[in-house]
Amino acid sequence: MQSKQLPGLHVGIIMDGNGRWASARGMPRALGHKAGIEAIRRVVEASPGAGIGTLTLYAFSCDNWSRPEPEVSALMGLMRLYLRNEIGRLAESGVRLSVIGRRDRLPDGLAAAIARAEAATAQGERLHLRIAVDYSAREAILQAARWAQGCEPLTREAFSMLISGGTPDVDLVIRTSGEQRLSDFLLWESAYAEFHFTDRLWPDFDSDALAEAMTVFRARHRRFGGLTGSAAVAA
């Protein structure tokens, strides 16, 4: 499905540090993931006011299946809980929800719950919230390449459409918990993205942390491979 482009920036967030947040408090890792749900709510609520039109959150990668089964089950349970508890709020707030990634490996009933949530929020025009579940950017690129076989001529724009369905490229990638890598997240779409790394663990991320990231982003000069201002004159 082609994505409706909303005004505003596209921000991607790699939500990291739930387990460490819980461990530092002597709590099970699952409770860290539950606290991370609260952070999602805070950031979603703050995003439109921060000038964000599309927000993509990295919730569960294809490689996360290698985690211990109890933790994976807890994460999938939290996804169900989020869909059940938040969809009404999202719809009332004008937030459209999409889930990107594979659905064939999800637990029974979860893919259907995702489809119902997407349908219930399809008219949202204030924010496009995308949650990446069982997602791999490399797999997305590979799948697009399979679809593109035999397409002539294949342009960059057409290939991008196959990967992202028309969702605009990422303007800013935020990663929490002090890690500084992409971890197979939106590789194609982040070709000219700015990056913001913070030591704050995801459950502690809030509207102030988002505002700080946006302030840093807006202070940067994005040239997209060209030259601007004094640099162009000097060249």
Residue 198 burial (CB < 10 Å; 0-12/13-18/19+)? buried
Structure tokens at 65: 């299946």
CA dist 205 and 48 (Å) reads 16
Structure tokens at 6: 């909303």
CB of 196 closer than 8 Å to CB of 181: no
Q: Which of 18, 63, 64, 208 is catalytic?
A: 64
**CA 30 remoteness from chain centre:** 21
**SS3 (DSSP) at 60:** strand
Q: What Å distances lie between residue 51 and 2, 44, 75, 80, 214, CA to CA? A: 22, 12, 29, 29, 9
64 is catalytic: yes
Which amino acid, one-letter code, is at 59? A
CB atoms within 10 A of CB 149: 7
Q: Which of 16, 134, 171, 184 is catalytic?
A: 16
CA dist 210 and 228 (Å) reads 27
CA-based radius of gyration for the chain: 18
**Four-residue CA torsion sign, 148, 149, 151, 155:** positive
For the annotated catalytic residues, the residue numbers are 16, 64
